[in-house]
Structures are given as structure tokens and as C-alpha cells.
Structure 1
């Protein structure tokens, strides 16, 4: 697939995604950037590592911005996002793959939990539609 075709497909996917699917995309993007940052450290490419860690931090910041303060869960998740951003900063300064592994573990948990929320929501909507 050509780069232009791939970019068009990706942009279309983003534009047609639901808010819950966009959140899932953010988690997946964060994981991708963490993996690329680890590779940068392992290869001694610190410019690449820096760029990818900053991209991961931007995603965590976006997740923080989109949280609705009206919900109780926001009060519980926000400190975790702040912790992840802090650890990403430390990993960047210290070129530490272990810290990136730790952050990756948290993001995988967030992503997997979010997948379950999406699945449950879809099942509930099907049940509601089916009972009408």
C-alpha cells in the first residue's frame, strides 16, 4: 500500500471513529510510540527516542484533557495519567527502558480495560435495541 493511500485510509478511520474508538486509537498509538522509543534507546538513537517519548506524552496529555471532571472515575484515573507523564519524562532523561516497560504495562491495562468497556457498551446497546 502506498504511503498516500495509507495516510488517506488512516485519516478516514480517525474521522469516522466514535469517541470510544478514538480513545482506543490513542492507547494503541501510545503503545506504538513507547515501543519505538525503546528501540531508539537500544540502538543509541536518542533523537528518535526523544521524539517518540514526547509523542507518547502528548497522547497521555490528550487523554487527560478529554477526561470529564464530572465523573468520579476521572478523579481516580487523572493521578495515574499524571504519574505516567512523569515516568515518561524520567525515562527520557535517563534513557531507561525499564521505566518505559512500566509505563507500557499501565497503558496496556488501560487499553484492555477500555476494550472491555466498548464491548460491554455494544452488548448493552444490542440488548436495548433487541428488547424494544
Structure 2
């Protein structure tokens, strides 16, 4: 059961979002978790770094499973996502912020692209991604 107004708002936002907006929300989450992971590494908070970077990996995995391979762009995106996961794992195992920072730069660029796509009327047929519920 949702207890706070913020949780209720967040759940409502997800339920009413378009597929493109959902993708942008996933990017926002991944970006937030990578930033938290980098900050935790910088402050020597190893456990928090691990937790945040694993959450970021999970979001990138979710982005990967939403790809619609009927569109050629999906093959390119899966390679980018796989590379980002590699960077996040490397950052987490070595507790090195640089690989995570590289992944963050890709996430920010892709998020901006999806945000511009999601503004107009968006459907899975125009974006090459399909969000399954």
C-alpha cells in the first residue's frame, strides 16, 4: 500500500506515461543511480556504491529488454547498453569512478535523445522501442 503522496504521484505518473516517457523515466533512474554510485566511490562508501551501481545495471537491463528488434536501431542500442553494463560492472568491481562516469555520459546523451522523441506523439512504431507491461 502506498503511504505517501509522492509515492501515489509516482505510481500515477508511470501508469499514465506514454511508452517514450517511460523510457525517459528509466534513463532518469539509471542516471540517478550512476551518480549515486560515483559519489559513494568518491567518499569510500563501498556498500552504497555497490548497491547504486547494481541498480543502474538493472535499469540498463530493463532498457535492453524493452527493445523492439523489428527496427534496425535496436541492434545498435543493445550494443551500447551491453557496453554500459560492462562499464558499470568494471566501476563496481574496481571501485573506480571513471568507467561509471563514461557510462553516465552515454546515459545522459541517450536520455536527451529520447526526451526529444517523447515530446511529440510517440508510439513504439516510431521509436523502435516497445515498452511491455
* TM, length-normalised to structure 1: 0.86
- The aligned runs of 1:1-132 (5 Å cut-off) are 4-119=4-119, 121-122=120-121
Distance between the aligned counterparts of 1:122 and 1:11, measured in 2? Answer: 22
| Greater relative contact order, per chain length (Cα 8 Å cut-off, separation 6+) | 2
RMSD between superposed Cα atoms in Å: 1.4
SS in 2 for 1:122: coil
SS in 1 for 2:44: coil
Aligned length: 120
Larger C-alpha radius of gyration, 1 or 2? Answer: 1
Q: Which stretches in structure 1 are left out of the alignment for 5+ residues?
A: 124-132
Distance between the aligned counterparts of 1:7 and 1:115, measured in 2? Answer: 23
Distance between the aligned counterparts of 2:121 and 2:22, measured in 1? Answer: 15
Which is helix-richer, 1 or 2?
Answer: 1
Could you tell me which residue of structure 1 aligns to residue 129 of structure 2? Answer: none
